[in-house]
Amino acid sequence: MANDQTDRVVDVLIVGAGNAAFCAAHAARDRGASVLMVEKTPAAETGGNSFYTAGAFRVTHDGVHGLRPYLNETTVARLDTTELSAYPAETFIADMRRLTEGHNDDAMTDRLVSDSADLVAWLAEHGITWRLMYERQSYQRDGRDVFFGGLAVGTVDGGKGLIAQHTAHALGSGVEIRYGTAVTGLLRDDTGRVTGVLCTDAEGNRHQIRAGTVVLAAGGFEADPQRRKDHLGEGWERALVRGSPANTGEVLDAALAVGADRFGDWASCHSVQWDANASPSGGNRELTNQLTRQSYPIGIVVNNRGNRFIDEGADYRNYTYAKYGREILRQPEGIAFQLFDATTRPLLRTEEYDSSPITMAEADTLEDLAAKLGIDPDGLVRTVREFNGSIEDRPFEPAVKDNRVAKVDPPKSNWAMALATPPFYGYAVSCGITFTFGGLRVAVDNAQVLDTEGERIPGLYAAGELVGGLFSGNYPGGTGLTAGAVFGRAAGAAAAAESAAN
């Protein structure tokens, strides 16, 4: 039977145990605060969406030179044959503006970008190990590995490694983590200061935990079909959840209930092309990001009528992938097929396209491929004939925008290769939702939650997916982990300082 208990006081209480939460925990511990993390899932299912990631962080850098001290031995051994352009602050800012069509908050973006510069070093001091992501973010050219699209740095062992290393460092520094405990509300005193949380443990016991300050880092509402339908619109209840099933938005609601302001684009989200037979309700902890299909820029994507509907080569994958999930949701049956032939198949990301199980077919003719996948064969043959006949013959170079255009409707602006050499390969994809873009409004200087009057709510901070203002409609790959780390670090430091002052 449920009963009520009041627990001890801690300086900083952090809600969640994903990347943003751990960054807040490290920053608060660095300032001497006692830290308790309260996480909804059991330890065996922990890490939030951060666990499922590739561990890719978008940070500013000056090329391999500045990154070298933080990279693992395997990467350092390859640096002499690596081409990685610098990624300066102005390019990161321009990417954010371009992709969100100016709907990003400029002050938050400036903070995100400027604080990304020392993030690799800061996280390395807090137990995170680094590599360059050759297998995902580069192509071979003349014996050299050429990176594209502003994203190169990742954690060793991806999201699994990130969470394991965060957890080890946090526990080693004296942070306590209480798993299996879901936060359901916030406690306040007579002055409006947030003084702790209400939560329910795995046995159904309700607790009040008192704290000097509280940091919310409990993710968005992407795993709740009803909230998706309410905010993103009709049809989104059918999207497949790529990551944690636990990010269901109740902590956002708890913050709104104490007067927090909404911010950012609550009507859009990050969504990608995802194996059509993946679970609807949450990611696979073994395969994690392997269920994604991200080599579409070198193929074509058709619906089950055999029609193309996106410009697969509009830009580097890192700048288009997060908006193409929603385009699939709009297609008949919410399904699409990425198609390649024997020429392009060797260029596909191995970890994704050689993954098992996988929803795909292979055939020696387009008609057979269509029959195996459930695509209208006449439509497919017509689409491919028109596509193949419209390609401007220029050199094919997957690591740069090669202007190898297919002049059809919709056009393919780069990397257009005829589907002509059997066998043909088709991969069935649906819309996989990653995370929601809307969230709370926070002060840019210290990640303190703002109320609807723009005033700081005493004792309350937020970071990660549940903060709004950075993204809308689209998103530059690798920015979610960076955003969580930048604002998590800021929130943890400020929460520790406010707790010490009270």
Q: Is 454 exposed, middle or buried (0-12, 13-18, 19+ CB in 10 A)?
A: exposed
Rounded least distance, CB 301 to ligand FAD, Å: 19
SS3 494: helix
Q: Distance between CA 148 and CA 136 in Å, rounded?
A: 10
Rounded least distance, CB 340 to ligand FAD, Å: 22
Least Cα distance to 162 among 16, 15, 73, 47 occurs for: 47
Q: Is 157 exposed, middle or buried (0-12, 13-18, 19+ CB in 10 A)?
A: middle
Q: DSSP per residue over 255-323, as a string?
A: HHHTTBPEES-TT-EEEEEEETTS-SSS--TTTGGGGB---GGGSEEE-TTS-B-S-TTSS-HHHHHHH
Within its chain, how far is the Cα of 278 from the centroid? 18
- Closer to ligand FAD at the Cβ: 25 or 335? 25
- Closer to ligand FAD at the Cβ: 287 or 406? 287
Q: DSSP per residue over 434-486, as a string?
A: EEES-EE-B-TTT-EEEBTTS-EEEEEEE-GGGB-SS-BSB--TTHHHHHHHH
Three-class DSSP labels, 117-129 = CCHHHHHHHCCCC
- Closer to ligand FAD at the Cβ: 96 or 406? 96
- Closer to ligand FAD at the Cβ: 264 or 478? 478
Rounded least distance, CB 371 to ligand FAD, Å: 31
Residue 59 tokens, joined: 């940070």
Rounded least distance, CB 205 to ligand FAD, Å: 15
The residue type at 13? L
- Closer to ligand FAD at the Cβ: 137 or 195? 137
Rounded least distance, CB 419 to ligand FAD, Å: 28
Rounded least distance, CB 16 to ligand FAD, Å: 3
Rounded least distance, CB 304 to ligand FAD, Å: 25
E-strand ranges in 73-230 read: 82-83, 130-132, 138-141, 144-147, 153-155, 176-178, 182-188, 194-200, 206-216
- Closer to ligand FAD at the Cβ: 283 or 468? 283
- Closer to ligand FAD at the Cβ: 67 or 302? 67
From residue 15, alpha-carbon distances to 250, 262, 317, 402, 461 in Å are: 12, 18, 33, 46, 10
- Closer to ligand FAD at the Cβ: 306 or 477? 477
SS3 391: strand
Stated length of the chain: 502
Rounded least distance, CB 229 to ligand FAD, Å: 19
Q: Contact residues for ligand FAD (CB under 6 A)?
A: 15-21, 38-41, 46-50, 52-56, 182-183, 217-219, 242-244, 246-247, 250-251, 283, 288-289, 434-435, 464-465, 478-481, 484
Rounded least distance, CB 294 to ligand FAD, Å: 10
Q: Distance between CA 178 and CA 16 in Å, rounded?
A: 10
- Closer to ligand FAD at the Cβ: 153 or 408? 153
